[in-house]
Structures are given as structure tokens and as C-alpha cells.
Amino acid sequence: MVSLLDRVILKAYWRLLPIIFLSYIIAYVDRNNVSLAKLKMVDDLPSFRYRTESIFAYGQVAFFIGYLLLEIPGTLLVEKWSARKWICRIMITWGILASLTAIVKQPWHFYLLRFLLGLAEAGFFPGVIVYLTHWFPGKARARALSLFLIATPIAQFVSPKISYYILRMGTIENGIYYRTLFKLKGWQWMYIAWGVPSVILGIIVLFFLTDRPKDATWLSREEREVLETELSIELERQQSIGGHLTVLQALRQIKVLLLAIAYFFIVTGNYGVELFLPTILRDWYHLNDSLLTWLLMIPPLGSLFGMLIVGFSSDRTKERRFHAAVPILIGAIGLGLTLIRHQPLITIIILFTITSIGTKAYLPAFWSLPSLFLSESAAAGSIGFINSIGNLGGGVGPTILGVIKDRTGSFFLGILSLSISMAITLSFFLCIHINPQPKSL
């Protein structure tokens, strides 16, 4: 028989996760559609043709510098103020700025808008992680995180083909001219087409999300009480383990620092591959745009199933650390094997799919770790800190790959560096020991 608590959790799943899920799909595409847009921007913007890969890598650096500056304050606002209002603000501003990328003419325009986009988006991802801790007890949290985080592979799956149909506007392909509007190029329309939905979703968030269970008019009083009681018991259990830590005290904990460093190395590998995968496949196999975008839909399918399996397994076994570490090891091995020369295209796609599984499947278990040993407020600041430090890798990884490609004419050393970066992550996980059970009184 299903308990009242389980029914309330299921009700919260259906009420909250769909809108958060859609929001993260748009956020992810707005952040990463530059990987496809760059293939066309260099044809229309002469200033982008010299050291092309470095320019787009530096754009990622600019994004994550902006992201870093407001990450922790933004996450704390979700904890202390209002998740729905802050997420609404984030989505509206990033949608506007993402659309404005359509007007860039010079690299410095691109750097400025990427920096501002980073500022605008800061706090969204860790803010949602913190928001989910307000609603879902530990036994259901990794599953909720899985259902939220699968937005990443789904965004990667649906966006290449949609973006391809937009990108070819105003171009001639196979003797066919594809019409455009207002004399804009396809890559310009792509930025606009993905930016506008985030503004619309931002407005919907304001009216649809509920900050905490006590504010949920769509739950009965009995349902609110049973959920709040479970969350309160869990909070007391966390405090019995880690004490009543302030945010600053939490940031000095060795476990938090190790998680931040581990996240940095995995994000370095992940973002380096994601930004340049279309370019890598085109460079190695001289693919046309249509086939390329079909192939780009394959790796996300693997990571989608990987995330669901790891998330459900982690919740069932109540184990987090190895559920995070093992996928990363698999991803590092997969990426390293892509360096074997003269492999068939299908083999490379399989290896990049394995890499994608590794760089995504660990996420639900990983983001469940801080709330196992920290109170709500301390966990909020720590999640923002971990995400900030980790996302510095989002600038480092593309820079390594882009600069090495411009200097050597090859992706070999860059991919090798990213594979090693991912493998290094494991040593930090081995140093993290978390016992989620309260001490005996």
C-alpha cells in the first residue's frame, strides 16, 4: 500500500518537475547552441576566421567568469528569499541576452554577451538543486534530480536537428534556397528562436512554482504536514551529523572542497567535448550538416538512460559516492579510446556515447552528496560554491581544446588532456567519506 508521504511526493513530482525540466532544456540549449552556430558564424563574420577555435573557447571563459561572480549569492537568494522569483528573473534576462547574440559582429561583442549571459544564468542550476531539497526528502531526492537532470541529454537530443533546420535559413543546400526573414542569417535566427521561449517560461515559472510545501495551496493541510514533518526530521538528522554549520564554516569543510575540485575536473572534460564535438566530427570525417546533426543525437540517448539507471539505483541502495565515481571512470576511458587512429565513424560515435554517459550519469548521485552532511542553509551555499568552482572547468576545458587545435592543427593532445582531467576526478572521490546516519545519542 502506498503511504500518504509517497503520494505527496508523487504529486510534487508532477506539479514541479515538468516546468523545471522544460526550463533547464532551454537553459542548456541557450548556453551550448554556440557549438553548432560557430560552424556558420565563421562563414558570415570575417573577424571570427582567425584563431576560430580560440575565439569560441574564450567566449566560454567569459561566460563562466560571469557565472562565477553571482553563483553563490544567487543560490543563497533561492534559500533565503524566493526560488520562483529568482528563477523567473534568471530566465527572462538570459532569454533576452541569448537572443542578442544574433547581433554580434566582432569577437569582443561575443565575449561581452557571453559574460553577461553567464551573469544572467548564475544561480539557476544550483538554485534548482537547493529548491528540490525544499520539496523532496533524501529517499526521493536522487530520483527527483535524475528527472530534472535528464533535461540535459534530452536538450542535446532534440536541439541539433531543430537547430539545423533553423541554421539553413538564408542558405543554399543541395541546390535549394531556404528562405529567411528580415535578411537575417540562420545562425542569427537560431539564437533568437531559442532565446524567446526562456522569456515565456520565466513568466510561467512566476505563477506556477511554489517556494515551499507550507505555501502549496494545491496540497491539503494533511499532505503539507506529512511532507514538512519528514523534511524536518531529515534536517535534524543532518544537523546531528554535521552540526549547525554556517555557510562560511561549510565552505571550509574538506568534503565540500574535495567535491568542488572533483567537479572542476569532470566539468573541464565535459564542456571541452561538448563545445567542440560538432567540430571534431566534421574535422575527422568531413560530414555534411544534415548527417552531422543526426549523429549528434546519438550520445545523448545513452546518457539519458545512464542517468535514469544511476539515479534509481542510487536511491534504491542509498549509496551516492560510487554511483558518482564509476560513471566518470567509464567516461574517461571512452574519451581516451577515441584517440586510437583510423577508427570507423560508427566506432567513434559509440565511444563518444560512452563518454557522454560518463559525463552525465554521475550527476544525480553527485548532487545528492552535500545535503547528506549539511543543513539546508549550509548546503545551499556549498552547492553554489561547488558549482562555481566546478564551472570554471567549463572555461578551462574548451580553452585547452581550442587553443591546442589552433596551435597544432589537431585535437589529439587536447582530447588526451580532457580524458586525463576526467580520470583525476576519481582520486578526489576516494578521499570523500560520508556517513549519512546520525550518531547515537
Three-state DSSP class for 173? strand
pLDDT block averages, 10 residues each, the chain of length 441: 82 90 89 84 84 85 85 74 86 93 91 92 82 83 80 88 86 78 88 92 90 88 88 71 56 81 91 88 88 91 88 82 89 93 93 92 83 67 80 87 89 92 84 56 34
Residue 436 resides in a domain: no
Do the Cβ atoms of 53 and 282 come closer than 8 Å?
no
Cell readout for 229 is 514533518
Q: What is the pLDDT of residue 439?
A: 39
Whose CA is closest to 400, among 421, 428, 427, 386?
A: 421
Residue 32 resides in a domain: yes
Do the Cβ atoms of 73 and 123 come closer than 8 Å?
yes
Alpha helices of 168-253 — where are they, by DSSP H?
A: 186-208, 221-242, 247-251
Do the Cβ atoms of 134 and 213 come closer than 8 Å?
yes
Three-state DSSP class for 177? strand
Q: What is the pLDDT of residue 438?
A: 44
Q: What is the pLDDT of residue 142?
A: 72
What's the structural domain count of the chain? 1
Three-state DSSP class for 176? strand
CA distance 198 to 193: 10
Residue 374 resides in a domain: yes
Residue 59 resides in a domain: yes
Range of the domain at 221: 4-430
Cell readout for 417 is 588532456
Three-state DSSP class for 172? strand
Residue 437 resides in a domain: no
Alpha helices of 243-320 — where are they, by DSSP H?
A: 247-251, 254-285, 289-295, 298-317
Whose CA is closest to 337, among 363, 316, 355, 313?
A: 355
Q: What is the pLDDT of residue 6?
A: 85
- Tally of CB atoms within 10 A around 59: 25
Do the Cβ atoms of 250 and 374 come closer than 8 Å?
yes
Sign of the alpha-carbon dihedral angle for 33, 38, 43, 47: positive
Residue 303 resides in a domain: yes
Residue 439 resides in a domain: no
Tell me, what CATH number does 393's domain have?
Answer: 1.20.1250.20
Residue 89 resides in a domain: yes
CA distance 18 to 261: 31
Cell readout for 407 is 596551435
CA distance 87 to 127: 8
Angle at which helix 376-408 crosses helix 412-430, to 10 degrees, equals 160
Instruction: Measure the CA dihedral 84/88/94/99, to 10°.
Output: 140
